[in-house]
Structure 1
Amino acid sequence: MANSKYEYVKTFEQTTTLLPNTYIVVRVDGRGFHKFSTKHDFEKPNDRAALDLMNAAAAAVMKELPDISFAYGISDEFSFIFERSSRLFDRRESKILTTVVSTFTAYYLHLWSTFVPSKPLTPLLPSFDGRVVLYPSTQTMRDYMSWRQVDCHINNLYNTTFWALVQRGGMDVTKAEEKLKGTLAADKNEILFSQFGINYNNEPEIYRKGSIIFCDVSYPYHQEVPDPAALAVSKNSEVEISKTQKEKERKRRSKAEIVVQHTDIIKDDFWEQRPWLLCGDADR
């Protein structure tokens, strides 16, 4: 009821507006996924169907929210990177975070039977939490992405070696943990190769490098994307792009093909071959 005596309670609401001209990164993480994956009998060390499901849910989120430039996923987590110029929900943190997490969760549940048809969902049901982090420059954003990919490699090498010792070497989990305690990457590679004939470098790249998802733009990005000076984030220093331009860009992204790749994002090659991912970034 408008103007009721109870309306004063709205004054207790607090809104956090995210800083302008910064990359918004929303990282979605599985909540209690160790128990969930055990109950639903995920393959160890990697369950390809489960990873494909994560990728499909992430791609669906990107279709729903074209302000997301790209996303990176490993295991039960996904990072969604919003372009610096994004004004989605007026950059309200709670709105952005809850929308991404809830949309991702909804698609994960919806697509489960498509990717894991032989294992019906039963409680424990999958759930996800999330956080928002802001990065002020291309370099810090890329360092974040590099950090996640390095983590992917470190964790997967350990898990691959651990489960080889358990599943193929006959060790119990305690002895396998003890054997790997304090080992370096070279030690784990040696164990895999000498004891099990596994060349870690030949393992599928989705396991070793994770998944990066982005919109594939086939035409030269500079012909379609507004000049960086026109990408608006500050009332005082920059000019906001017109509503027509915003709508045109939104429609273009919503129609673009969503691509999933498993490749190196630490080196410059990936970014130099896809300059539209960083368009509008003044410090690029």
Structure 2
Amino acid sequence: MYFRAIYTLLQSRTTASATAILSRRSMACSRYEYVKSYEQDDSILPNVWIVIRIDGKKFHKFSKVHDFEKPNDENALNVMNAAAVTVMQEFRDIVLAYGQSDEYSFVFRKETTAFKRRSAKLLTYVTSLFSSSYVLRWPHWMSQPMAYAPCFDGRVVLYPSDENLRDYLSWRQADVHVNNLYNTAFWKLVLQTGLSNQQAEERLRGTFSADKNELLFQEFGINYNNMPAMYRKGTILLRKRVVTGELPDEKCRQAIVPLHEDLISAQFWKTHSEILANKYVPGTHNATEPMSRLLSEQLKSLEAPLEQQLKNNAKIS
């Protein structure tokens, strides 16, 4: 009886001590927890297209320090494309991404519930993931070591209708045409005729697209329409079921496909109708040779698990 009484007493004291500690912790939490009320609700409206656009900060300086080829550096553009592919692989609710120069736009489907549609969470995750991926993918495409890390800012824009979204993307692609045509003419004048930057600017001041096209053709023998489509139209990234005809089972070969097409035209939206469909299902892409390096490397990474799956199926049969 004596020892049982001692055990009961110690047990009660232990329970009381634990209760006191929990009570103090609870009081501490309740005392300071009020600061959470200062956080703003940044939940995005339902049933709207969410576009996150990232832009390079002071990329003119960055491209100069790293000696980007003028007016377009294919490898530098593909670093951007590779970083964007990483973002799309992380966020499966991104139905389309569009990039040009030092910017990329990511379109989330209307029904996405990623991060409970919290604007700050989506923006910071996409921007930071893109930035870190850009640094990691740099040596894969560029021969020159990175002198310093680039910086990207971002914004969230909401578009309520399909028409609004199409107009936004058309605006960004039209911007590519205007800027690239000017830059192509500008750098040809600087690099091949010896004009200074100021003299080239004065030469092009007040000219229209037709004038620049004529200048390129007459003075440099360049048909602007024959330049690589990536320079003239930017890069569109779409999630597709890629068919190559090499393997019997194509279901696992889903990849992010880079396209350089005219997304201003109605034909683009007919061809890729899954983008605006009520229920999003990735479309099919028939890959042909030569295949872009960006796509071929994705498919190679999928070959090993797919081949293993086929071996397993063969053993079962």
TM more than 0.5: yes
Letter in 1 for 2:116: D
Which residue is 1:74 aligned to?
100
Q: Which residue of the other structure, out of 133, 145, 152, is the alignment partner of 1:107?
A: 133
Asked if residue 26 in structure 1 is aligned to residue 26 in structure 2, the reply is no
Helix, strand or coil at the partner of 1:6: helix
- Counterpart CA distance in 2 for 1:108 and 1:255 is 24
Q: Which residue of the other structure, out of 68, 71, 78, is the alignment partner of 1:45?
A: 71
Give 1:6 deviation, angstroms: 2.2
Q: Which runs of 4+ in 1 moved over 4 A?
A: none
Contact 2:76–2:141 (8 Å) recurs in 1: yes
Larger Rg: 2
- Counterpart CA distance in 2 for 1:179 and 1:273 is 41
- Counterpart CA distance in 2 for 1:255 and 1:204 is 27
Bigger proportion of residues as helix: 2
- Counterpart CA distance in 2 for 1:18 and 1:5 is 30
Letter in 2 for 1:271: W
Which residue is 1:180 aligned to?
204
Q: How high is the TM-score relative to the length of structure 1?
A: 0.84
Helix, strand or coil at the partner of 1:112: helix
Which residue is 1:223 aligned to?
none
Residues 159-217 of structure 1, C-alpha deviation per residue, up to 9 Å, x if partnerless? 00000000011100000000101100010011101111111011100000000001014
Contact 1:70–1:212 (8 Å) recurs in 2: yes
Residues 200-248 of structure 1, C-alpha deviation per residue, up to 9 Å, x if partnerless? 01110000000000101469xxxxxxxxxxxxxxxxxxxxxxxxxxxxx
Which residue is 1:86 aligned to?
112
Q: Which residue of the other structure, out of 250, 255, 258, is the alignment partner of 1:257?
A: 255
Asked if residue 144 in structure 1 is aligned to residue 168 in structure 2, the reply is yes
Which residue is 1:121 aligned to?
146
Which residue is 2:217 aligned to?
193
Which residue is 2:314 aligned to?
none
Which residue is 2:183 aligned to?
159
How many equivalent residue pairs?
A: 247
Letter in 1 for 2:145: P
Q: Which residue of the other structure, out of 271, 274, 295, is the alignment partner of 1:273?
A: 271
Give 1:256 deviation, angstroms: 2.3
Contact 1:15–1:94 (8 Å) recurs in 2: no
Q: Which runs of 5+ in 2 are unaligned?
A: 1-24, 244-250, 280-317
Contact 2:241–2:253 (8 Å) recurs in 1: no
Helix, strand or coil at the partner of 1:90: helix
Q: How high is the TM-score relative to the length of structure 2?
A: 0.75
Root-mean-square deviation over aligned CA pairs? 1.8
- Counterpart CA distance in 2 for 1:273 and 1:55 is 22
Give 1:278 deviation, angstroms: 1.2
Give 1:274 deviation, angstroms: 1.6
Q: Which has the higher contact order (CA 8 A, sep 6+)?
A: 1
Which residue is 1:57 aligned to?
83
Helix, strand or coil at the partner of 1:45: coil
Helix, strand or coil at the partner of 2:126: helix
Contact 2:242–2:253 (8 Å) recurs in 1: no
Asked if residue 9 in structure 1 is aligned to residue 35 in structure 2, the reply is yes
Contact 1:217–1:276 (8 Å) recurs in 2: no
- Counterpart CA distance in 1 for 2:272 and 2:242 is 10
Contact 1:28–1:77 (8 Å) recurs in 2: yes
Q: Which runs of 5+ in 1 are unaligned?
A: 220-251
Classify 1:218/1:41 alpha carbon distance in 2 versus 1 (closer, same or farther; 3 Å).
closer
Percent of aligned pairs sharing the same letter: 52
- Counterpart CA distance in 2 for 1:97 and 1:108 is 16
